[in-house]
Structure 1
Amino acid sequence: MTDFALHDLKCFDAVIRTGSFQAAAAALHRSHPAVFAAVARLESQARLQLLDRGGYRVKLSDAGRSFHERMQPLLSEAEGLRQHAAQLAMGEESELHVVLGDLCPRPAVLGLLARFFSKCLHTRLHLHFETVGGPVERLKARDADLMFHRVDTTDPSLEWIALRKVRLIPVAAPSLLPASLARTLRPEQLRDYTQCVMRDSARAPRDEQFLVIEGVHQVTVADQFMKKDVILQGLAWGHLPDFLIDGEMRRGELRSIAGRHFPGHTETVVAARRIDGAHGPVAQRLWAHLQASCGRTSSSSLPYVS
């Protein structure tokens, strides 16, 4: 048995999809005899009768049905390879890797990405989720083309587009802390209470303790959503991004413990990429899409985008 030709498999598939040799020939821009010969050759090589030609319309034999089902992954892979080769020939990327950090307002950013990639059907988006120092580490290691998180805006190796400011509010469930502490609270008064903190997903985390009270008992979680759940249950207090707790704050399920001595913190979430990276056509179009949607590129001054 010789190897099957891709052309013959595609002709056989077209006959089944269109219902006749004539329609298959038109769909493939081939002659009727060429399609007929291709299917006959396939049957000869497989030593199977793939089609039942006894009726008005050709239909699959039992063996042909099984054969047709089994060959679908091969046709799909062949089409994917064809598209990949076409992209490479055009210089376009077949895939892009994007990292979302824990401060990223996910619905808004995912919406931006969805609108862009709906028009880039042949570029596969790989999404990664990292926390604390993980997003920047992945970007600098060239494991990602683009990152949505906070950055050191003085870092000369990065360029960025400001998306929005995010306020990190120290909050607690009403049952955790006495109401009398609300506005006079000092950080050292929280040492008797457990603080919920985020685990750094970086492979080589830095020693910095971001918004962590020194000497306090900690419970560590993997993401902001788990952190919110822990705080809502009164198991700990902690800083949470404003966009994640708006409803809980309005309903009184969480209350801010920010005050004159414990103000919270504001970060600017950006889209960032390496300045020295090799950015292909799709990556460049995505960057322009973000600029048009969110603001302007900067590496020195930081515009505020609400």
Structure 2
Amino acid sequence: MKLDQLRAFIAVVETGSFRSAADAIHKTQPGISAAVKTLEAQYGILLFDRDSYRPTLTAEGHAFFQQSKKLISQAQQLENLGHDLAKGIEAPLHLCLSQMGVNDNGMVRIKAFQTQYPETSLDITTDHLHGVQEALTKNKCDVAIGPRYGLDDRHAFVELYRINMITVVSPDVLAFLNNDQTCSLKNNVSGAKIKQQQLYSLPQILVSNTAVNSAENGHRYTLPTGRRWYVNDFQTKKTMLLHGLGWARMPKHIIGSELENGQLIPIEVENFTSQSQVPIFMIRLRHQTQSSQSNLFWEMMKCFSNSSDDT
């Protein structure tokens, strides 16, 4: 298998015909056909159903196309990196940030680093729960910033700051719960006391654990009984809460304005960790060779933390 063969195959899929593919990548039509046939012969599969007017991907061809796109993209990134290194341009510093830990505290630190080292290019992605650490183990990032999920002796980590988690519902949901005589409110609606069984009919909204190889879903604060809905990010989670579609624990910094204007109301659920502080750590792999940019970032972030020792 050669990259040129994959490019020919991808061109046929994206342009819809062998002739258009040849024009798109400046090859002859027989050359395109030969490249695709070579791939099919190598793996003993049919990539296209040629009975129709235009070549149509088979089920095997569709799966092969998805992976081919990824491989060509990675090859292009490697080629670009090689050219940059030849010009003396350093590779970007890859950071993976936990969605729940992205607050002003963290952004001020990253901004301070970028200001002090403007020549360092940052590549920033976000993830959730065990997905943050998985980004490290899969070499998708150099440094991760997130909670202590899945950390062990492979990791070096420093606590940077803490975030507050709070359990909230919309006023409409609280009114619904208040119709139950077992729900006793304090003098104000904030901090309403709720029994667990009152929540069983309402979905607990959770952000999905993105880690592929995690043996657990990563969620520590769930009720043993009750409905659960999973979303991909905290913005969706907040929107669903505002529309009264369930209840959830949320980072307080994400819902600050909604708490102030009463769109979301804190509740206390009996025998449940309704509120807590979650430490946010800077994390890297101990065995991984660190770039100069990574070491600069690590040392500068440590200066912000209360402790300068790796845990």
Scaled to the shorter chain, the TM-score interval is 0.5 to 0.7
Aligned to 1:279: 290
- Assess if the C-alpha contact under 8 Å between 1:169 and 1:241 holds in 2: yes
Query: Which of 129, 133, 136 matches 1:132?
Result: 129
- 3-state SS in 1 of match to 2:158: strand
Q: C-alpha distance in 2, partners of 1:121/1:81?
A: 21
The gaps in structure 2 that reach 5 residues or longer are 1-80, 186-191
Alignment-derived partner of residue 240 in structure 2? 230
Q: Deviations over 1:242-291 (max 9, x none)?
A: 11122211221111112553332331011111122211211111111101
Hey, what does 1:198 align to over in structure 2?
Answer: 207
Matched residue of 1:148: which SS?
strand
1:207 alignment partner in structure 2: 216
SS in 1 for 2:99: coil
Rounded to whole Å, the distance in 2 between the matches of 1:83 and 1:128 is: 21
Distance 1:245-1:105 versus aligned 2 partners, 3 A rule: same
In 2, distance between residues paired with 1:114 and 1:217? Answer: 40
TM-score of the pair, normalised by structure 2: 0.63
Alpha-carbon distance in structure 1 between the residues aligned to 2:233 and 2:150: 24
Amino acid at match of 1:175: D
> Do the aligned partners of 2:154 and 2:286 also contact (CA within 8 Å) in 1?
yes
* Separation in 2, partners of 1:271, 1:173: 33
**Displacement of 1:173 after TM fit?**
0.3
Bigger radius of gyration: 1
Give the stretch that moved more between structures: 229-238 or 208-217: 208-217
From 103, 111, 116, the counterpart of 2:113: 116
Deviates most, 280-289 or 259-268 = 259-268
- Give the CA deviation at 1:103: 1.6
1:284-303 to 2 correspondence within 5 Å?
284-300=295-311
Q: Does the CA contact (< 8 Å) of 2:130 and 2:150 recur in 1?
A: no
Maintained 8 Å contact 1:150/1:268: yes
TM-score by structure 1 length?
A: 0.63
Answer whether contact 1:186 1:262 (CA < 8 A) is retained. no
Which residue number in structure 2 is paired with residue 185 of structure 1? 194
- Residue 132 of structure 2 aligns with an amino acid whose one-letter code is P
Q: Which residue of 2 aligns with 1:70?
A: none
Q: Which amino acid aligns with 1:133?
A: H
- Residue 34 of structure 2: aligned partner: none
**Alignment correspondent of 1:100:** 97
Query: Of the candidates 167, 182, 194, which is equivalent to residue 170 of structure 1?
Result: 167
Taking only aligned residues, the RMSD between alpha carbons, in angstroms, comes to 2.7
The CA distance in 1 between the partners of 2:149 and 2:225, in whole Å, is 27
Q: In the TM superposition, what is the alpha-carbon distance from 1:155 to its structure 2 partner?
A: 1.8
Cross-structure match for 1:157: 154
The aligned counterpart of 1:148 is 145
Deviation of 1:127 after TM superposition, in Å, equals 0.9
Aligned residues: 218
State how 1:30-109 maps to structure 2 within 5 Å: 84-85=85-86, 87=88, 93-109=90-106
The amino acid across from 1:220 in the alignment is Y
Distance 1:173-1:250 versus aligned 2 partners, 3 A rule: same
Displacement of 1:224: 0.9
| Aligned equivalents of 2:140, 2:306: Cα separation in 1 | 25
Q: Which runs of 5+ in 1 are unaligned?
A: 1-79, 301-306
Worse-matched range after superposition: 263-272 or 116-125: 116-125
